[in-house]
Structure 1
Amino acid sequence: MVKDTKTGNRLSRLNPETDRQEQAVPALAIVDPEIFAAALAKRGGRAAMAPRDRTTPRHLLSGLLRCGSCGAGMSVEDHHRGRTRIRCTKATEAASCDNTRSYQLDVIEAAVAGGLRDRMVDRDGIALYVRVYNEERQALAAYSVNRRAQIEKRLQQAEREQDRIYKA
């Protein structure tokens, strides 16, 4: 700390590196060096992940709720009286949705969890879930195959066009 002569206030400043003294004292380490190295390696690996993969969802239905009017996502609007309220993102950000109502997130989560609990105790409910899940997976797989075929077709067309241009 040094004193500013004009104001009389104390100012904090770093000492030059030449004035610093460092010495390793392994006996004062709080964590074993192996554990510390493993933690650093894990933290370094996390930095390479995409931001959406680094964070865990804050709520049970984060990213899953959709507006019934326009199909846009629902996002947290505010916290009112200790409860989280959600609202249509398009209505909030672009005012392009007529659904301007706010909903209590805990009420929606309780309804979804209760509905799942009620339907999953019945064998027919579980069979329906498995059937719908498998159908959706097959539809996604078929879409991927079709999309790949479309992309390969466009690639072949671009390569033919490139050959024509090159020969011309």
Structure 2
Amino acid sequence: MKQLDARGDPIRGDREINETEAIVVCRVFRDFAAGIAPRTIARTLNEEGVPGPGGKPWGDTTIRGHVKRGTGLVNNELNIGRLIWNRLRYIKDPSTGKRVSRLNPESEWIVKHVSELRIVDDELWQSVRARQGEIAEKFVNLAEGVRKHHKNNKLNGARRPRTLLSGLIFCGCCDGPYSLRGPQRYACSNHISKGTCENSRSIRQDELEVRLLAGLKDRLMAPEIVEDTMRACTEETNRLNRDRRSNGDAWKAELLKVEKQIRGISEAIKAGMFHPSMKGEMDTLKARKEELTALLAGAPVDAPHILPSASAIYAKKASALTKA
């Protein structure tokens, strides 16, 4: 409920039932309990122009969600007058930098009964739970197999994309993702899952890959592209040469300075001005001298400003693109 207090500040947390949306909620519950697939329910609602949560199109996950996490319309216990806080916590994944959710123990949940906000009666709620149980029982072996596979495959999270074009294909009508739908065929995900796109065309995976690679090969061998590549290669080579020279000059200057400091300490010791701290400083300077000498010895020599065989190497790599 959007309302303000006496000072004009928003009052947060108050709720009331939206009767129009409540009708849709009950309809979804009845359809799900009757055995209609969430994808079919979502497509039907989208075709009828019924707005989904937040005004967005309906999707199958919008309806079925995740049972244990309480996500998805049919798992939202607010529909039976049970308001839950602290079910999930959110942390940052250090490997990806993305925010991910984690399920809190049920003992940490904060539950409040708000019977005045109940939309779905207990009989319908239990019918949906029974339907979910049937689905879970039907696919228990498949789900267990997937979990076992992920548990045994420690590198699963770092795997490469499953196909050459994973995540790179988009529908020309709705800009939604084109993904593998069925045996080795790409199709518009929004058309299949949500019914919000009229593009029903699909294409074989091998045909699309061959067409794309052939097109890339032809584009890469165009004279203007080859010229641009050679220019970029020359600029990068020259930049690296400048960096090498700059680093080498700095190392040489530092080496001269270190050698001078070593000679100064040696002369002081010969003159009888030895102090215990000089030994530690001498050891540090000698170690740095060895390091600088190694860096200068291993510094690569300047590459030619333009590699004579660069164009031939480029042509060979471009022609082998499909195989690669």
- Tell me the TM-score normalized by structure 2: 0.22
Question: TM-score, normalised to structure 1's length?
Answer: 0.41
**Bigger radius of gyration among the two:** 2
Where relative contact order (Cα < 8 A, 6+ residues apart) is larger, the structure is 2
